[in-house]
Chain A
Amino acid sequence: MEQIVFALLNGVIYGLLLFMVSAGLTLIFGMMGVLNFAHASFYMVGAYLAYTLQPVTGFWLAIILAPLLVAGLGIFVERFVLRRVHAYGHAHELLVTFGLSVVIAEVIKMFYGNFPVDYSVPSDLNFSAFALGGMEYPFYRLFMGGVAVVMFAVLYLMLTRTRVGIVVRAAIYRPRMVEALGHNVPMVFMAIFGIGAFLAGLAGAIAGAFYTTNPNMALELGVVVFVVVVVGGLGSMEGAMLASIIIGVMNSLAVGVNVSLADVLARVGLGDWARETGGILTLQLSSLAATLPFFLMLLVLLVRPSGLLGEKE
């Protein structure tokens, strides 16, 4: 019983972390139609900036300042890079953001080297929140989850309950109309891009300390984040939340399941044959845990191409 509670908790919190990064990606796609390949790079930059600032400003200020700087970087990218390329269509925007992600990774390596840097959870936050059945649960994980939940609530309320949210949502569907009504649409887009980058930077600053801060972190997380956005539905904030949690929990539960196809076939009397054949039949589900999200993506694309909660055709 405790095992399952822990597995669920682990999964939900990892899912919430995925949400923090994918929220920005799906927000930007929803608003601007740009699939931002450099988005996970913002996550990495957030972690490295927080690591750099921490000795000077302390941990708390660092995890606030770093995302703000990343937001600045995002606004710069939107204003001076993406906007110029926008006229040439989506393919060019995609390529520009892809190039940007490579450049950011190499610049990080130039400054910080090839190996993980020494960025870790401050010691006064490094305690267990509770113990259950002999297992202790780190407080910092709950903290990460809490930040993600607060973030989701703020974004959701902002988009659905405020005037700014109305303008933003209107700008997605009828940008020319909104412009005609006297709103500065390019400004709205720039702000959205900045917010998206801020969210990724915040996730990086917080998660970089818990996991590792290394030059590959963008690549490692980036792929999963894309899966989350596709599964949830491109542009859907609620979809991203749902997909993140599903993928997180699925990952966590699959690790504990030592079942292979051979075990399933044994039920119908083909167990020995399957074990002799070997190969994929004896592959255990637990060793595939990190591949499961991709199966899910495949399934979603086949059955419901717009994603779980996606609206666009």
Chain B
Amino acid sequence: MLKTAMCCSALAIMCAGAAQAEPLQVALVETLSGSQASTGLLYRTAAQYGIAKINAAGGFRGEPIKFVEYDSQGGPVGAADRVKAAIADGARVILQGSSSSVAGQISEDVRKYNLRNKGKEVLYLNLGGEALELTGEKCHFHVIRTSPNAAIRFQTLTKGMKELGLMGDKVYSINQNYSWGVDVQSIIKANAETVGYTVVGETLHEVNKIQDFSPYVAQIQQSGADTVLTGNWSNDLLLLMKAAADAKLKVRFGTSFLDQPGNIGNAGSVAEGNVMSAPFNPELNDATKAFAEDYKAKTGHYPAYVEPYAVFGMDMFAAALKSLDDATGPVSANEIVLALENTKIETPVGSLSIRAEDHQAEMPMIIQEVSKEAAFKVDGTEYGFKPLKVYTGADSADPVQATCKMKRPG
């Protein structure tokens, strides 16, 4: 754990008044305790890693960045409250990633705050909320998504699986019933004709409430599907795969979040051959290997699940700040946003940039499968993720949504 960048919030308020040149304050608003904490804690690790890198390189305008963590304890309500507190404490940048529903709340809160507080705008860096509306109808100037979205994930996944011959003719779509899962389902259906498969069944179910997936597996079996596409994460993915294996269902899973820690360890051989589309794979090249090793040296584990692209998002942020570094005094959120729009960086996987029209990041996506041949094994098993195909940022990008009507300042 990186303790250096951490600063307790009460102390932060007190020393903020005393400091001469006001340092840039960045707030992480995440679920850090309770039952949903596991993903939030990964975002924290990645954000701490990113901030530590910026501060090690001299900080911003001669001051180390002040990094403060706020525990939103689960849902959007807690997050809204913490965002208010963070802004009151002087934060100019909000980081968050672990849930699309929370991301939607923070995005709206930031938009309203900025409307009412001209000249004191706040930037929300969305590190991982992937629902389409966040760069669609909810898009605005002060929110930037550095992660992929539902369209990027599932367009690359379906195209990639087809080209690699891993896609069957009959596809079953099973997803969680909220913004993200609904998006995934509509993309799976929309792509059926262009990619070339038939959707033989679709299910939306409650999020992380179901213990027993065997009735759903029976539905899949009945439909005669040979491929199951799902945006499920956490228990909903794991239990679904286990239930399918128990019923000896012969299908291939196409997923987006299969690399969550514990998944492969728990599913074991059941997961072999299943496919995932994600923005990172450690064995891709020397740079990704070096990044994986450095991350492990600093945090104790290889970057997995949401961590790699959260780190790349932080790298993007660092590069934007660097371009603003030669001035003095405080920086405005507008300046950072404009800098981010004009920044293009080379991450270990390839180039990463932010599209000015809707503030969606464009990044390479890697189609990968669970295999014994992978160089980096996960969860102490003999399995890992073997890269099969890389889509560049331009190839994986989805068109700007018509619903995004961004009002630019000035």
Q: Which A residues form the contact surface with B (CB < 8 A)?
A: 3, 6-7, 10-11, 14, 17, 105, 109, 113-120, 128, 134-138, 140-141, 210-212, 214-216, 219-221, 224, 248, 251-253, 255-256, 284, 286-291
Is B26 interfacial (CB 8 A cutoff)?
no
Would you give 10 A-B contacts (Cβ < 8 Å), ordered by A?
Answer: A115-B262, A141-B246, A214-B235, A214-B262, A216-B35, A255-B205, A255-B216, A256-B218, A289-B206, A290-B210
Q: Which B residues form the contact surface with A (CB < 8 A)?
A: 35, 37-38, 41, 177, 203-206, 208-212, 214-216, 218-219, 221-222, 235, 238-239, 242, 246-248, 260-263, 265-266, 268, 379-381
Q: Give CA–CA (A6, B210) in the complex, Å.
A: 18
Contacts of A286 in B (CB 8 A): 203, 205
Q: Give CA–CA (A10, B204) in the complex, Å.
A: 20
Contacts of A109 in B (CB 8 A): 37
Contacts of A120 in B (CB 8 A): 242, 266, 268
Complex partner residue of B211 from A7, A137, A211, A215, CB under 8 angstroms: A211
Interface of A is mostly: helix
Most buried by B among A7, A10, A134, A248: A10
Q: How far is the CB of B139 from chain A (nearest CB, A)?
A: 24
A116-B266, A212-B242, A287-B205 are contacts. A7–B218 as well, Cβ < 8 Å?
yes
Contacts of A3 in B (CB 8 A): 218, 222
Q: How far is the CB of A8 from chain B (nearest CB, A)?
A: 10
Pairs of residues from A and B, 10 with the lowest C-beta to C-beta distance, nearest first: A115-B262, A114-B38, A255-B215, A118-B265, A116-B262, A138-B246, A290-B206, A136-B248, A252-B215, A14-B212
Known contacts A116-B265, A255-B218; 19 additional CB pairs below 8 A are A7-B218, A105-B35, A109-B37, A114-B41, A115-B261, A116-B238, A116-B262, A119-B266, A135-B218, A141-B214, A211-B211, A252-B212, A252-B215, A255-B216, A286-B203, A286-B205, A287-B177, A289-B210, A291-B206
A114-B38, A128-B248 are contacts. A290–B205 as well, Cβ < 8 Å?
yes
Q: Are A212 and B239 in contact (CB under 8 A)?
A: yes
Contacts of B379 in A (CB 8 A): 118
Complex partner residue of B209 from A7, A210, A220, A255, CB under 8 angstroms: A220
Contacts of B211 in A (CB 8 A): 14, 211, 220-221, 224
Q: Give CA–CA (A303, B235) in the complex, Å.
A: 35
Contacts of A136 in B (CB 8 A): 247-248
Q: Taking CB as reference atom, which chain A residue is nearest B214?
A: A10
Q: Give CA–CA (A128, B214) in the complex, Å.
A: 14
Contacts of A287 in B (CB 8 A): 177, 203-206
Contacts of A113 in B (CB 8 A): 262
Complex partner residue of B35 from A11, A141, A215, CB under 8 angstroms: A215
Q: Taking CB as reference atom, which chain A residue is nearest B40?
A: A114
Q: Give CA–CA (A216, B261) in the complex, Å.
A: 15
Q: How far is the CB of A137 from chain B (nearest CB, A)?
A: 7
Q: Taking CB as reference atom, which chain B residue is nearest A223?
A: B209
Q: Give CA–CA (A75, B87) in the complex, Å.
A: 49
Contacts of A141 in B (CB 8 A): 214, 246
Q: Give CA–CA (A288, B37) in the complex, Å.
A: 26
Q: Are A220 and B246 in contact (CB under 8 A)?
A: no
Q: Give CA–CA (A218, B204) in the complex, Å.
A: 24
Q: How far is the CB of B214 from chain A (nearest CB, A)?
A: 4
Q: Are A289 and B248 in contact (CB under 8 A)?
A: no
Complex partner residue of B242 from A11, A17, A211, A252, CB under 8 angstroms: A211
Complex partner residue of A118 from B212, B222, B380, CB under 8 angstroms: B380
Q: Are A251 and B221 in contact (CB under 8 A)?
A: no
Q: Are B235 and A116 in contact (CB under 8 A)?
A: yes
Q: How far is the CB of B339 from chain A (nearest CB, A)?
A: 35
Q: How far is the CB of B28 from chain A (nearest CB, A)?
A: 17
Contacts of B37 in A (CB 8 A): 109, 114
Contacts of A219 in B (CB 8 A): 35
Contacts of B214 in A (CB 8 A): 10, 14, 141, 252
Q: Give CA–CA (A56, B63) in the complex, Å.
A: 54
Q: Taking CB as reference atom, which chain B residue is nearest A139?
A: B246
